[in-house]
Structure formats: structure tokens, C-alpha cells
């Protein structure tokens, strides 16, 4: 599954271990999400920081993860972010 296939309401796991809910249906290098971390807040997340989508969307943030694939543009964005130290 590609990050561009994620839809509003999909529950995802981020690279830093936090969980989030997708809040838009857009495509590209960033997605709007409500992140459940130390606090719950909404903001943009890089698409290359999304590890997977939870298969069971009805339950809490648990269960099997569907792995995410990245587009060449998203991989290029990831490389640029690493070069700047992010």
C-alpha cells in the first residue's frame, strides 16, 4: 500500500512509535494527521515517517499493520530531510 492510498480516518503507526489518524485525502510528501503522543494534536507529518496502516480500523491502535511503500518523490524528500539533520 502506498501512502497516497491512505484515506481520512485511517489509523496509522509513525516511525517514532506514536499513533495517528489521517485527517485528509490529499497526496504528496506531507499528510494532515491527529497524532496521539505525549499530547494529542493535529498537524502535518511527512509521508516517509508513516510505517504502516492498522488493518482493523474499528478497534483502538492495535492489531496487524499493513506495510507502507513510498513513491520516488517521497524517498527523495526523506533523503533531503536526512541531509538537513531531521
pLDDT in tens, 18-58: 999 999 999 999 999 999 999 999 999 999 999 999 988 77
Determine the pLDDT at residue 61: 83
Of residues 14 and 61, the one with the higher pLDDT is 14
Residue with cell 483502538: 60
Structural domain including 8 reads: 3-83
pLDDT of residue 57: 76
pLDDT of residue 56: 80
Q: Report residue 2: phi and psi, to 5°.
A: -90, 155
Q: Is 36 exposed, middle or buried (0-12, 13-18, 19+ CB in 10 A)?
A: middle
Of all residues in the chain, the percent with pLDDT exceeding 70 is 100
Tell me what the pLDDT averaged over the chain comes to: 92
Instruction: Name the domain count of the chain.
Output: 1
Amino acid at each position: 500500500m502506498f501512502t497516497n492510498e491512505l484515506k481520512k480516518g485511517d489509523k496509522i503507526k509513525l516511525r517514532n512509535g506514536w499513533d495517528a489518524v489521517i485527517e485528509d485525502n490529499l497526496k504528496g510528501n506531507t499528510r494532515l494527521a491527529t497524532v496521539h503522543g505525549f499530547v494529542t494534536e493535529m498537524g502535518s507529518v511527512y509521508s516517509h515517517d508513516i510505517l504502516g496502516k492498522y488493518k482493523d480500523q474499528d478497534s483502538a491502535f492495535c492489531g496487524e499493520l499493513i506495510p507502507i511503500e513510498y513513491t520516488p518523490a517521497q524517498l527523495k524528500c526523506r533523503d533531503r530531510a536526512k541531509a538537513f539533520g531531521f
